[in-house]
Structure 1
């Protein structure tokens, strides 16, 4: 007798494959709710209790953990001793198994779920059966994904059985699926432990990461590189992988990275109306204002050249008035928490512009940053500005004015998102110039200040932020020559006193944050 075991939480298209198994004379074993569902749809089954001789125990926690299940799955069909053992213990072979798991990942998406409820959605019997069947893929067909039903049905109808290559592929999918399932559990419990003990989960000896494939990308960073995007099922709601695409093509590899960079900048200004433009992972314009239109005007004016073909992001809904302006520009991606209906219709007139709606009402910063290196990964906390401006230390004889302090705070928030070495010059509400990714700090200062001067801004209140300490007086000298009156930097260089003395000589105010913001 050929047997199949079916026990699923996701019943999508289940009847189609069950009918084929039944038509082929394959006896179907089933459990609980799955058995009731199959019977209701005309599929004859036998209960798991009839096979094991035991009722379900412990409120259903123990159903399939039995030798008559796992023996039937694991026995090697060409091993005489295995076959004799099955016969001796009256165990029937199970050649097909259709199992998917309790919805643990879906359960923990609910912010109100408690630990007990989450624990109860950890599947034990399901993964055990899947792994047993997958280990014996030479003889057992194991299906964990409803997307594979069609392939199996086709092979059963054509050949009366599945192909070995298919069984091997299905087994590989099972082990990937159970690994991802376990990783999600480990990650969730690690987070719970961290919250209870205020212990950082990064200290764990083993790091488990999981991702679910969203789709393949056209190519990677360059056209000769293949690429795929995976989503962390436990990612916060503001994550770029959770954005709802309202228009345009799928995001490219570089779109994903730039969009992520833009979102991280917006998170710095969650209590203000902000517009951000990003190009090649660096901001080319950041501004705040009293309205979303004013914020974007200032953002655009910060660098009207670099924004071409870039990404813009907003933390307020896009209005019809703003949409009319954006429609006139060449942009790759527009991100906002929402779009007015009229605004959406205007922007959709360009079929290639990607319009993303992204939830931004809970801009927490709990995710770790994960970066791949050859042979491993690096994991670190998010770079949060935890120090209060009131804790900044005056380094110079001259104090900053209230307007300068406000401008320095704005510049400091932007500087942490610019590739090092980074220099940012701003006033209190918009960037004037950004010097990014330079191998020396005075070079970054020259780029930022030259950009500011070429844009025609009123530079009366221009301030300068440096992401790390200013090591030489050359940056101070250049800043003085170009109207900078106040500077913010971490401090901590062995040449701090020389730098301070030079700032005093030029009557420049300077604050030390004692925190640096390298970004490589």
Structure 2
């Protein structure tokens, strides 16, 4: 406004100012036209129209991108929604990687929105998820999964964080914490760490928003991943069905594995992950890693439940899981060797359920 006012008073709107204002006008009207076109497409039920325009507004300039030397910025699609709805109550400004990890952290706690849950994230994938009666109980369960990897993490809660939870968290180096609300005591405690970013609010995905992934020469567009199916739609495929306790652990494992990078295997027991095998090129390696990670920090894998984000192509993972003491498995099913895999589970007296829902995450 000051620049325009000065030009008006001097009666001297130079070419640079005119071009700058024209740019703003066209950007504004283009965004408005895009909203109108999107509305008309939605009225026809057209999910993927011939042309898509996504208007974005500069939300924040960032120091650099994923690595130093990469210029970066955060653009907002719908102001006041998603990550832009969060209020920062302390700490340094957010970085590019912080924002990526915040999305990963929220993705990990979304399936547990009706419970007190905590997810600890490194490089957008969980290194621990836990649920409990309170924020601190959920945090302690999540941290116990892999306390080494939790160094420099981003943490998400589904419930308010009080002073007790904040005191426990303050002993760990953490980049960001996000929760619906922080008590004044929690803010004071966390504020002692000047670099710790404290984010408050609920950053939900807006209804109807599409997932966009850039590739060379274009953009892949898909609907957001559907909610993780509940156990009411599961199919028991083995001779032995899961016990009540095993079923609860399977449901937790299934929800937890939904946010882990593929190929993904999660070991769970008692409302907590005890071993996570993430981002492996083979499923058998993901299963091996989950067991290895669990044992490395002293977890007993005997009686654990196992969740897999996709089907088992061979029986090898089942045999290895049985050797580790796994008693129940949840997976989508759909392999040409399903019968071989089911037979392996029956041989080992493992209860197995099929969900019919794949949970790949790239």
Say whether the 8 Å CA contact 1:404–1:428 is kept in structure 2: no
User: Tell me, what secondary structure is at the counterpart of 2:174?
Assistant: coil
User: Tell me, what secondary structure is at the counterpart of 1:411?
Assistant: helix
How high is the TM-score relative to the length of structure 1? 0.66
Indicate how the Cα distance of structure 1 residues 247 and 235 shifts in structure 2: closer, same or farther if over 3 A, else same: closer
Please tell me whether residue 340 in structure 1 is matched to residue 190 in structure 2: no
Please tell me whether residue 212 in structure 1 is matched to residue 54 in structure 2: no
Distance in structure 1 (CA, Å) of the matches to 2:158 and 2:140: 15
Q: 2:15 aligns with which of 164, 168, 189?
A: 164
Q: 2:75 aligns with which of 230, 247, 267?
A: 230
User: Tell me, what secondary structure is at the counterpart of 2:312?
Assistant: coil
Counterpart of 1:319 in structure 2 is 162
Say whether the 8 Å CA contact 1:284–1:302 is kept in structure 2: yes
Query: How do 1:109-258 residues align onto structure 2 when only pairs under 5 Å count?
Result: 149-155=1-7, 160-188=11-39, 190-191=41-42, 193=43, 199=45, 201-233=46-78, 236=81, 239-258=82-101
RMSD between aligned alpha carbons? 1.9
Please tell me whether residue 508 in structure 1 is matched to residue 359 in structure 2: no
Query: Is the deviation greater in 272-281 or in 322-331?
Result: 322-331
Distance in structure 2 (CA, Å) of the matches to 1:365 and 1:486: 35
Distance in structure 1 (CA, Å) of the matches to 2:332 and 2:3: 60
Counterpart of 1:145 in structure 2 is none
Counterpart of 1:407 in structure 2 is 249
CA shift digits 1:290-311 (9 cap, x unpaired)? 1111111101111111111010
Indicate how the Cα distance of structure 1 residues 452 and 344 shifts in structure 2: closer, same or farther if over 3 A, else same: same
Please tell me whether residue 488 in structure 1 is matched to residue 339 in structure 2: no
- Tell me which structure has the larger Cα radius of gyration: 1
Say whether the 8 Å CA contact 2:161–2:182 is kept in structure 1: yes
Deviation of residue 422 (structure 1)?
Answer: 0.7
Counterpart of 1:71 in structure 2 is none
Distance in structure 2 (CA, Å) of the matches to 1:380 and 1:234: 22
Q: With a CA cutoff of 8 Å and minimum separation of 6, indicate the structure with the bigger relative contact order.
A: 2
CA shift digits 1:53-103 (9 cap, x unpaired)? xxxxxxxxxxxxxxxxxxxxxxxxxxxxxxxxxxxxxxxxxxxxxxxxxxx
CA shift digits 1:145-190 (9 cap, x unpaired)? xxxx2223445566x4122122222212221121112223444555
Please tell me whether residue 397 in structure 1 is matched to residue 239 in structure 2: yes
Deviation of residue 276 (structure 1)?
Answer: 0.9
Deviation of residue 220 (structure 1)?
Answer: 0.7
Give unpaired runs (5+ residues) of structure 2: none
Say whether the 8 Å CA contact 1:270–1:363 is kept in structure 2: no
Deviation of residue 277 (structure 1)?
Answer: 0.7
Distance in structure 2 (CA, Å) of the matches to 1:177 and 1:363: 24
Please tell me whether residue 370 in structure 1 is matched to residue 212 in structure 2: yes
Counterpart of 1:499 in structure 2 is 341
Distance in structure 2 (CA, Å) of the matches to 1:366 and 1:274: 26
How high is the TM-score relative to the length of structure 2? 0.94
Say whether the 8 Å CA contact 2:79–2:85 is kept in structure 1: no
Counterpart of 2:317 in structure 1 is 475
Question: What is the aligned residue count?
Answer: 362
Distance in structure 1 (CA, Å) of the matches to 2:306 and 2:251: 10
User: Tell me, what secondary structure is at the counterpart of 1:203?
Assistant: coil
Please tell me whether residue 300 in structure 1 is matched to residue 143 in structure 2: yes
User: Tell me, what secondary structure is at the counterpart of 1:255?
Assistant: helix
Please tell me whether residue 444 in structure 1 is matched to residue 304 in structure 2: no
User: Tell me, what secondary structure is at the counterpart of 1:519?
Assistant: coil
Counterpart of 2:197 in structure 1 is 354
